[in-house]
Amino acid sequence: MDSTVATPRAVVPSLAFVHSRIPASHPSAAVLGEERMGVGVAIDGRHVLTAHYLLLGADSVELTFADGRARELVGTRIHHETGLGVAILEGPEAQPAALATAAATPGQPVFLLTCTEPNERKVATGHVSRVGPFEAFWEYMLDRAIMTTIVNPGLSGAPLFDRDGRLLGIVSLGIAAVGRYSLAIPIDLLVAHRAELLGEGARRGPARAWVGFYPHAHDGGVVVSGVISNGPAERAGLAGGDVVLSVDGHAVQTLRDLYRAIWKKQPGDALGFGVLREAAAHVIEVTAGDRDSFYR
């Protein structure tokens, strides 16, 4: 990357090591664990942005900045739709990173900052390889995710910067594939949902319907690999191995088709899933849930 060492050094004070503890009783603990570690970045004096699952269900969150001092929090905010989370600091203000004002573009030089323990900081460089759609099996979809050539040398939640040290996104995933890469949630989603994430106003739009299952794309269709315990799907009778053929009578062939169909509805609405199970067709009616309430 055509940038001096001074640029990463300048943004190091904005990076925080995140250590969360989650009660065993919380619905996320069985899958994500009772102890989670990652990183976040200060976006102003009081708010630290990170990947939402690092804060999900936590009853204890400790943030450590470059000065080595652990910081206490006023609270946290989770935004399932974007995958972003915010920790709200108490006490002295943090040194924030500047936000990028232009969207990431393919070929753009970038770097990320991360760590694996509180007193460590690592940098890795690369380029934006693609900006485009991304779907995942936890009922998550982005229209413009940032894919990079960087292999993350540390923990998730890492801030992704342009060559001038402006924040482009939050690295949520390191994906092992041909030409391994890191995926980042673009910072424009923070801007779009600022009121919700920073507590400055009401929710933007109605809540999305949530099913509580793990669908995967497979051979030109969608297969359910599992369901969340006591979630809407399990309560309705959807099960691992079901092949989803349609939602409310409309055929679905991809995760994007599936999520678009589900998200036309709101919590409390009925969703009719046409599924193939053991060579027999069934229609299973699921009453959509509210993910925010379920994981609160």
- Please give the pLDDT value at position 72: 87
- Whether the CB-CB separation of 210 and 288 falls below 8 Å is answered with yes
Task: Report CA 139 to chain centroid distance, whole Å.
Answer: 11
pTM, two decimal places: 0.93
> How far is residue 156 from each of residues 37, 83, 244, 262, 283, measured CA to CA in Å?
8, 12, 31, 28, 39
Cross-strand pairs, 167:
99, 161
d(CA 154, CA 170) in angstroms, rounded, equals: 13
pLDDT tens sequence across 162-206 = 999 999 999 987 554 444 578 999 999 999 999 889 886 556 567
- Please give the pLDDT value at position 176: 45
Residue 74 backbone dihedrals phi, psi, to 5 degrees: -85, -35
Q: What six digits make up the tokens of 86?
A: 């915010």
Domains (ranges, CATH) in the chain?
A: 6-89 (2.40.10.10), 98-192 (2.40.10.10), 213-294 (2.30.42.10)
- Please give the pLDDT value at position 150: 93
- Please give the pLDDT value at position 8: 81
d(CA 87, CA 72) in angstroms, rounded, equals: 10
Our CA angle for 136, 30, 213, nearest 5°, is 40
pLDDT tens sequence across 231-246 = 999 999 999 999 999 9
d(CA 135, CA 265) in angstroms, rounded, equals: 19
Below-70 pLDDT ranges, the chain: 1-6, 174-180, 200-205
- Please give the pLDDT value at position 140: 96
- Please give the pLDDT value at position 1: 47
